[in-house]
Amino acid sequence: MIKREDFEKFKYGSHILSVFEDLFEDWMTEEDKMEMVEYCMDETGETIESIDRMFAVGVSAGYSPEQQVAISKAIFSGNANPTKTIH
């Protein structure tokens, strides 16, 4: 199972983890939260490493990690126009 410490090994690990934080519920234990993150990543076929690489590509294209988190959260929430969240 994924652990919070696994994210600390990557340059954008804390940003990646913050994408999922809005999905956490108050009743969730740390194990529940990491299980949900792992489930989401399994469903999309992504890994921490692959997402970290995507963040690096975004940064090289001029998008800050914070902008990428905002865009990702907008997509998760079903926002039809996520670019509004990065201004």
Distance between CA atoms of 44 and 47, rounded to whole angstroms? 9
**Average pLDDT, stretch 52-80?**
88
Contacts of residue 52, defined as CB under 8 A and 6 or more positions apart, other chains included, come to: 10, 11, 12, 13, 16
pTM attached to this predicted model: 0.82
**Average pLDDT, stretch 21-40?**
94
pLDDT of residue 66: 96
In a 3-state reduction of DSSP, which class is residue 62? coil
pLDDT of residue 83: 55
